[in-house]
Amino acid sequence: MTIKLDNFTIDLSKPLDISLPITSDGKNPIAWYQNQPEISPVKMGDWIGKVSEGNSSTNFNNIFFNPHAHGTHTECLGHITREFYSVNQALKQFFFMAELISVQPEERNEDLVITKSQIENTLNGKRPEAIVIRTLPNLETKKHINYSNTNPPYLLEEAATFIREIGIKHLLIDLPSVDRENDEGKLLSHKAFWNVKNVNNVNEDARFDCTITELIFVTDTISDGSYLLNLQIVSFENDASPSKPVLYSLES
């Protein structure tokens, strides 16, 4: 099936999935000092919710995971505020024009960081609704790495501020956080992107309808450029949800 959008044709039969799944095979990417997620059949007495065990007609699993630690997830400003805000209420539209860029984080004070100038130069004047950031080198180990206590690359506050100021509403990145792993709770890039000035009493001009999606993976076969983004979440009333961002090529 194809659709027309402005001067482009989009083939909906060719999705480019940039999400990482939640698995129980011991190879799930993890962060924030959590253990691997668990997917296991329900057990009630002698009954086991697994068809292959012989006494159940259905597979009936419990799943234990943390959205922020166990795969691709999308979060709203409720992630950092005292008052509760739900990503299920924040994200009400699901298709956006997106720009995929690749960035090599720069070394600064023993950290690897993404700067404003890198984002600005790579976008080259474009102001999409969503930005998808692929960090280099783009190693396959991103699919399985334990990020805890590794001080991964992160986005400088100046870069997050620039992204906000040019009107980008949805930020997607292949890192466990847009902020430094150990930043003493400052969360400068989260606050800058959402324009949150006081987490205890959120300002009226904070960006309630904007989202950050972390722990994506963009394979090297997907080229930098413009795409249609479909950003879907699970209907959790929570600050964050597992998500499935999918890109679609724009064909002229």
Q: What's residue 223's pLDDT?
A: 98
Q: Is residue 232 domain-resident?
A: yes
Q: Could you read off the pLDDT of 128-164 as tens digits, one per residue? A: 999 999 999 999 999 999 999 999 999 999 999 999 9
Q: Is residue 8 domain-resident?
A: yes
- In the chain, the number of structural domains is 1
Query: Residue 40: which pLDDT band, with cuts at 50, 70 and 90?
Result: very high
Classified as helix, coil or strand, 96 is: strand
For the segment 7-23, the average pLDDT, to the nearest whole number, is 95
Mean pLDDT across the chain: 97
Question: What's the pTM value of the predicted model, to 2 decimals?
Answer: 0.96
Short-list 148, 122, 120, CA closest to 136 = 122
One-letter amino acid of 163? I
C-alpha–C-alpha distance, residues 41 and 31, integer Å:
25
Would the pLDDT of 179 be above 80?
A: yes
Provide the CATH number for the domain around residue 79.
3.50.30.50
Would the pLDDT of 54 be above 80?
A: no
Q: What's residue 134's pLDDT?
A: 98
Domain assignment of residue 76, given as a range: 2-23+67-249
Query: Residue 3: which pLDDT band, with cuts at 50, 70 and 90?
Result: confident
Query: Residue 4: which pLDDT band, with cuts at 50, 70 and 90?
Result: confident
Tell me how far CA of residue 126 lies from CA of 105, 122, 233, 241, 243, in angstroms: 21, 9, 26, 29, 25
C-alpha–C-alpha distance, residues 240 and 234, integer Å:
9
pLDDT exceeding 90 applies to what percent of the chain?
94
Q: Is residue 106 domain-resident?
A: yes
